Structure 1
Amino acid sequence: MSEIRIRRAGPLLGEITPPPDKSISHRAIILSSLAEGRSIIRNFLYAEDPLSTIGAFRQMGVEIEIKGIGARGKGQDAEIIIEGKGLYGLQEPKEAIDCGNSGTTMRLLCGVLAGQPFSATLKGDASLSRRPMKRIIEPLSLMGAAFKSENGYPPLTVTGGELNAIEYKSPVASAQVKSSILLAGLYCSGVTTVTEPEKSRDHTERMLRAAGVDINIDGLTVSLKGRAEPDPFDLTVPADFSSAAFFITAGIIVPGSEIFIRNVGINPTRTGLMEILQAMGADIRLENKREVSGEPVADILARHSPLSGTDISGDMVPRTIDEFPVLCVAAAAARGITRITGAKELRVKESDRIAGMTAELRKTGVNIEELEDGLIIEGREKLDSAVIQSYGDHRIAMSMAIAGLIADGETTITETDCINTSFPGFMGMLERLQKK
């Protein structure tokens, strides 16, 4: 297993372009495969998780060509050409579909498979096999699909069929749950409706609308008119805000730093971290705002700034769900106390991120209290170096690498192969900023 070593850094200076957005890359493959005809996806994230989605649709007979891999090094981007088969053109896979570490692949595929005239089995790695699937099994079963599972955990066998439109009130604000139901809704006659307790990321809705599907958004409720085949499309994926978040945070907490981050998606359902950091005192500026393929995009300038603790809860939680590990690092570097509550969902991500970040930040000398649904973090001026466990979780590994930039001595992070699920070029990008 690989490990990385980080030493306390001088100022981080320069310009970077983070890798393409993982959430959008997944959804682009799914919707283009369900359209009939050729779609082109530019600046696709060539990393393990989205490649699991490509592999799944190839197993179901979709022709997918990958071109131009790694124009920015380490296989971060690619151009994808998809010959979509339409809603009813998928073939029964000959063997189980391996979703790897990708919960997005598994949960969204379940929505597609719910409408197919065949059965398919989905499996994943050890981490994915511990993630709960009842949250999508229940609504899709109400629509008419049948499931076999390990008490609500993978592997899953999905048997599709004639589906009924439903009105579903989701108990969790989850874009994966919402998207799975909406994808199944494409196969229903009538209108499928999903209502969330708070708004989750809306990439699926934006892409469905761009592909010509009749979809309506009214506050926390999304409605989709079924029997609508998506149109083929030509899409450019912006840089991933969740990947940019590591460098936004680094630019703020490392003294003397100034980092310019290009072409970042700033979808308002994703940018909670930026707003929280600004409320804590961070100097973050947006420049060159524009729209790319239906998604808002900007360049981001992050400068070193003193931070103060804050309280985080409510609808800010789903807008920051993937950024909480690195937000914990920012809180550890802030003056005063930061309280995070209402974030129980962090316990069922790639790892238990509440327990993981509590344990690892304690190793660096941070006074931190673990709550059932969050954390209380007391910031300190300097962190201690330590040997850090990643738990096989890419976001914990990268977040603790950022923490190592402000720790005395050398920080070692173990089991870092997981970084390749979303950000293969992470360390190279960090090293370039340190050499400026």
Structure 2
Amino acid sequence: MAPRPLQSVKTGPLSGTVRVPGDKSISHRAIMFGAIAVGETTIHGLLTGEDVLHTAAAMRALGADITRSDDGIWRVRGVGIGGLVEADQVLDMGNSGTAARLMMGLVASHPITTFFTGDASLAKRPMARVTTPLEQMGASFVSRTGGRLPLAVIGTENPVPITYRLPVASAQVKSAILLAGLNTPGVTTVIEAEPTRDHSELMLTHFGATVKTERIEGGALAVSITGEPEITGRPVHVPADPSSAAFLTVAALIRPGSDITLTDVGMNPRRTGLYDTLIEMGADITFLNRRVEAGEPVADLRVRYSALTAVAVPPDRAPSMIDEYPILAIAAACAEGTTTMHGLAELRVKESDRLAMVANGLDACGVGVEAGPDSLTVHGAGVPPGGATVATAMDHRIAMSFLVLGMASAEPVAVDDSGFIDTSFPGFVDLMNGLGARISLPNTQSAARPTA
């Protein structure tokens, strides 16, 4: 696919009321859990980005009946716990590590063989962190060196429950083990030193599974699931994605005079680290109409321009905002003072080495920055110089983050490829431009200088 460069230039105030697409993490899970439930699950507000469409196609190949009505409601008729069938083809997970890892857990406790692949970016991401505990449950795997895709899962006919302590905080690994535990007799337990996203626990409970979370010695959390339940189809209302809302939030905060409202945003406390940090930096964010939908807290966010100041972001906040550090770095670049962030090692094994990509992009745009093995320091100066074309390495969050930077920098900022934005945020450019942004094809008469 040919690269699709885009350029962003300084804008006036942003204004308007919009709803960003549905939460990607919850959308993946709604499709998967509906596919293994008995009866019909109706899903409202599902994200229709490429990642989630890959998940839907894969679950169809494994036996579920999944359709989308003209009114935008998705209907999933599930096969029940233990009812997945062997797919006739390789399952293409596209760009989604969430889909790949969770689905590996689902099929690991079924006596079927399943082949997984993905795009060039996903094929670089480590899967051993998932295969290691699933092997302890009885599954076996054949993969490329380093546990990378393409990969085959040889599921087990006699899965055994385990108690597994996560070596690194990861909601994806936790969820994969819990999903394998659904079709495993007995109780499967995951112990996490730091709380990670609990979308799986909340939604599995919503579908009727027995999930227990308790604090144990040393302050860790033990999350347990009782195997072989009968879960039944449920209605699911997918909230707007807080990770997607983050780009609009920061854009409004750094453009003088801006005042926007983002509706129906998921406010799960294990996902709100960015918003906590922005408020510490002086952000004017008001949470309106707080409510709970299908077990998930939701609110409308009013965001107004704010003069941000630097903060130190503690490492224990990383699990609640791991996907938002690139856009936080943009906010830090537009703040006054030096912002430090620690505990970022996980960013090096995302869709790209996000830590390096953010540092390289900020440096190219004239922002003072230092990156360590698991840290990032950004020297903000109010208005960044800009004037660069930033390499994205096929990473949607890098592309969107630097397009936001271009809205506030002295000179335009371009990205070398925007094609991967649709994996998580379809319609991003149109939505931003509708609020007052100016994102378009690069202007050859004022071309930004390329990064090295």
Tell me the TM-score normalized by structure 1: 0.96
* CA-CA distance at 1:67 after TM superposition: 2.2
**1:420-431 alignment to 2 at 5 Å?**
420-431=422-433
* Kept in 2: contact 1:54–1:64 (CA 8 A): yes
Letter in 1 for 2:184: C
Distance 1:278 1:419 in 2: 27
* Kept in 1: contact 2:11–2:437 (CA 8 A): no
Match status 1:343 vs 2:344: yes
Match status 1:180 vs 2:181: no
* Kept in 2: contact 1:101–1:128 (CA 8 A): yes
Shift >3 Å, 4+ stretches: none
Match of 1:157 in 2: 152
* Kept in 2: contact 1:241–1:270 (CA 8 A): yes
Distance 1:123 1:328 in 2: 32
* Kept in 2: contact 1:242–1:323 (CA 8 A): yes
* Kept in 2: contact 1:312–1:340 (CA 8 A): yes
Q: Deviations along 1:40-77, whole A, 9 cap, x unmatched?
A: 111110110011110101111211101237xxxxxxxx
Match of 1:215 in 2: 211
Distance 1:308 1:408 in 2: 19
* Kept in 1: contact 2:396–2:424 (CA 8 A): yes
Q: Deviations along 1:26-45, whole A, 9 cap, x unmatched?
A: 00011000012111111110
Letter in 1 for 2:100: M
Letter in 1 for 2:149: P
Gapped regions of structure 1 (runs ≥ 5): 70-77
Match status 1:407 vs 2:401: no
Match of 1:109 in 2: 103
* CA-CA distance at 1:315 after TM superposition: 2.2
Letter in 2 for 1:212: G
Match of 1:202 in 2: 198
* CA-CA distance at 1:294 after TM superposition: 1.1
* Kept in 2: contact 1:313–1:343 (CA 8 A): no
Q: Residue 96 of structure 1 is aligned with which of 68, 90, 102?
A: 90
**1:37-436 alignment to 2 at 5 Å?**
37-68=39-70, 78-151=72-145, 152-161=147-156, 162-219=158-215, 220-383=221-384, 384-434=386-436
Distance 2:65 2:233 in 1: 14
Match of 2:442 in 1: none
* Kept in 2: contact 1:185–1:226 (CA 8 A): yes
Q: Residue 21 of structure 2 is aligned with which of 11, 19, 34?
A: 19
Q: Calculate percent identity across the aligned residue pairs.
A: 44
Letter in 1 for 2:185: S
* Kept in 1: contact 2:407–2:437 (CA 8 A): no
Letter in 2 for 1:172: V
* CA-CA distance at 1:188 after TM superposition: 1.3
Q: Which range moved further: 86-95 or 209-218?
A: 86-95
Gapped regions of structure 2 (runs ≥ 5): 216-220, 439-452
* Kept in 1: contact 2:335–2:381 (CA 8 A): yes
Distance 1:62 1:190 in 2: 25
Q: Which range moved further: 189-198 or 173-182?
A: 189-198
* Kept in 2: contact 1:325–1:399 (CA 8 A): yes
Distance 2:70 2:23 in 1: 17
Q: Tell me, what secondary structure is at the counterpart of 1:88?
A: coil
* Kept in 2: contact 1:34–1:229 (CA 8 A): no
Distance 1:354 1:314 in 2: 14
Distance 2:411 2:352 in 1: 27
Tell me the TM-score normalized by structure 2: 0.93
Q: Tell me, what secondary structure is at the counterpart of 2:52?
A: helix
